[in-house]
Amino acid sequence: MEPTGNYPLSEAVRESYRAGEEDETLQPLVAGGKDGAPLGRIGKRDAVIFYNIRGEREIELTRSLTEKGFAEFPTAPDLGLAYATMIEYRRDLPVEVAFPPEETLENTLSALIARAGLKQVKITEAEKAVHVSYFLNGKRQEPFPGEDRIVVPTRKDVALFDAAPEMSIGEIGAAIADAIHDQRYSFIFANFPNVDVVGHIENREAIIRAIEAVDLQAGAAIAAAAEAGMTVVVSADHGTVEKWLYPDGAVDTGHTDSPVPFALISPDGRITLRRQGELADAAPTVLDLLGLPPSPLMTGRSLIEKNPGTGEGKGKARLLYLLLDGWGYREDAYGNLLAAARTPVMDRLLAERPFAVLAAAGEAVGLPPGTVGNSEAGHLHIGAGRRIYSDRVRIDRAIADGSFFQNEAFLKVMNAAKERKSALHLMGIVSFFSSHGSLPHLFALLEMARRQSVPEVYIHAMLGRRGEQPESGARYIQEVEKKCASLGLGQVVSVIGRFWSMDREENWDRIEKTYRLLVYGEGRGVPG
C-alpha cells in the first residue's frame, strides 16, 4: 500500500479494506469535525452537482434529493437545492442539465422496422431494460408503432448475483420461445444479461455458472428459431470475462476492449460474412437479412459478403437477434473464463457457422481511444448503424477547449451557492475507468469552483471496482484529497460503495442508506 500521509478519507477506506470490505459495497464513511459532528452534509438551499454520466443508475438518488412529495422512504422536508446533473438522467427531473442530449437519433434499426410495418419485440429482464429500449432505439423512451417490450422482473431475493448466477434467464428463455411461436413478430431482440452482471463480481465459480446458463439458453432459442424457419444472429455488446485477469494475475471485474462475435444461422446456411467489422455494422446487416434498405444516415455496412438465396421479401423474413451481454471474443486462454466454461453451443457456432468479429470499444463505439466498451454504447451503436460520439467525448472536448468552464448549468448552481451563502456539493463516481464518470470531470468542476470563488465545496465519493485494480478506490480518494490541497479548495467528506448509491431496480433501501449519509451524516465517523 502507498504511504498514507494526511489524507483521512483515503486512510479510512484502507482501514475498511483491512476489515474485509471492498469498494463496490463499501459501508458509508463520513468526515467529522473536532466536535465529532459530521462535516459537509447536504442541507437546505445548498447547491449540488451530480457529475456522473450514463444516467440510468443516477435517477433514484436524484429523485430522493429533488422530488417534491418523494415517498419511497422518509426524507427531510423540501431541501430546495440548486441541483445540476452532468447529463440528462431523465427528462422530467427538476434539475439543470449541463450537457443535454443533442438529439434523439432518427432512422435507427427499430424505427426502420416499424416504418416497414413489421412487428418487433424486445425481451430481457429489468436489469437491462433500459438498454434494449432507450439505447437500442436511439435514446427514445417510447416504443415505436408495432414494438412490444417484455421485461422479466429482476430477482430481489439476493444481494449480489453471484448467489444466483442464472438470474431470471429461464423466464427470458420462455418469453423468447413464445415470441418465436408468435408469427406476428418479424424481429425479436433478446438480451441475456448474466455474463455482464455476474462478471462484475469477483467470484469465478459464479461467473462460470452464468456463462454456461447463457450458452444453454442460447442453444434452446436457436433450436426453436431454426424449427420455425427463422434466421438467427448471436452477438454481444462488449466484453468482460474473456479478459478476467490482469497480466500480473489480479482480477479485472470490469469491461474490456475486446471485440465481440457476430454469428449467423440462416435457414439455408448459404450466407457468408466478411470477418471484420464494428457494432455499427449490425443494423445494416439485420435490415439486409429482413429485405429492408438501410437509412442513408447509417455509415455501418452490411456484413453479408454473399447471399445466394433470393430472399422472401418485406414482411416475410423473420429474425431473432440474441445479445449475450458481455460476451467478448478473445482467442487467448489466459484469464479467459469463456474458454474455461463449458460452452458447446457457442463453440459449435464459431466453428461451423459464418461469423464476424466486431470492434466494440474505443472509437468504434464513440468512446475515447483505448477505452473499454459498455452496454450503453454497445446497444446504441447496434441500433443506430453509425458511430455516435459519447457524452464522455463531448465533456472531454469541452474541458479541452475551455467551454466547460462557461457552462450555464454549472454557473447557475455555483452562483446560487454564492448568493445563498451555502455550500457546493460535488458527488459522483471516483474512478479513471468507469463508464459513469471520471476524475478529470471532478477535477474540472473543482477548478471551475475555484475560478468562480465558491467558498465552500464538499465532495461525496462513490466507489466501484469495475475495471480497476484491487483497492484502487483508496488511491483515487487520495488523488482527490491531494487535488483539493493543491487548489486550496474542497474536502472529501463522505465515501460509499456504488452498490448503495447507483441503483436502477428500485432497491430503495440502498438509496436510503446513501441519502442518510449525504443529509444526516450516518456512517462510520472519520476524524478530520
pLDDT tens across the length of the chain (528 residues):
333 457 899 999 999 999 999 888 999 999 997 777 899 999 999 999 999 987 789 999 999 999 999 999 999 988 999 999 999 999 899 999 999 987 778 999 999 999 999 999 999 999 899 999 999 999 898 999 999 999 999 888 887 888 999 999 999 999 999 999 999 999 999 999 999 999 999 999 999 999 999 999 999 999 999 999 999 999 999 999 999 998 989 898 889 999 999 999 999 888 999 999 999 999 999 999 999 999 999 999 999 997 766 444 444 689 999 999 999 999 999 999 999 999 999 999 999 999 999 999 999 999 888 889 999 999 999 999 999 988 888 899 999 999 999 999 999 999 999 999 999 999 999 976 667 778 999 999 999 999 999 999 999 999 986 656 677 889 999 999 999 999 999 999 999 999 999 998 899 999 999 999 999 999 999 987
Grid-cell match 464538499, residue found:
458
Separation CA 57–CA 435 (nearest Å): 11
> Do residues 369 and 404 share a domain?
no
> Do residues 281 and 142 share a domain?
yes
pLDDT at position 1: 33
Which of 331, 362, 387 is the endpoint of a domain?
Answer: 387
Separation CA 35–CA 528 (nearest Å): 10
Domain-embedded: residue 1: no
Domain-embedded: residue 444: yes
Global pTM reads 0.75
- Looking up residue 199, the CATH number of its domain turns out to be 3.40.720.10
Domain-embedded: residue 474: yes
Domain-embedded: residue 212: yes
Domain-embedded: residue 486: yes
Give the strand pairing for 119-125 and 185-192: parallel
Domain enclosing residue 488, as ranges: 8-100+393-527
> Do residues 281 and 416 share a domain?
no
Which of 321, 356, 387 is the endpoint of a domain?
Answer: 387
> Do residues 362 and 454 share a domain?
no
Question: CA geometry: angle at 275 spanning 273 and 279, to 5°?
Answer: 90
pLDDT at position 436: 75
> Do residues 377 and 428 share a domain?
no
Domain-embedded: residue 3: no
> Do residues 436 and 520 share a domain?
yes
> Do residues 149 and 253 share a domain?
yes
> Do residues 320 and 335 share a domain?
yes
Domain total of the chain: 2
In angstroms, the Cα distances linking 407 to 7, 423, 492 are 31, 19, 24
> Do residues 165 and 311 share a domain?
yes
Residue closest to 353 by CA, chosen among 271, 283, 437: 271
Residue 156 dihedral angles phi and psi, to the nearest 5°: -110, 0
> Do residues 264 and 345 share a domain?
yes
Which of 371, 387, 403 is the endpoint of a domain?
Answer: 387
Grid-cell match 476524524, residue found:
527
Separation CA 159–CA 175 (nearest Å): 25
> Do residues 54 and 148 share a domain?
no
Dihedral (Cα; 169, 171, 177, 181), 10-degree rounding: -160
Q: What is the 3-state secondary structure (H, E, C) of 352-377?
A: HCCEEEEECCHHHHCCCCCCCCCHHH
Q: What is the 3-state secondary structure (H, E, C) of 392-406?
A: HHHHHHHHHHCHHHH
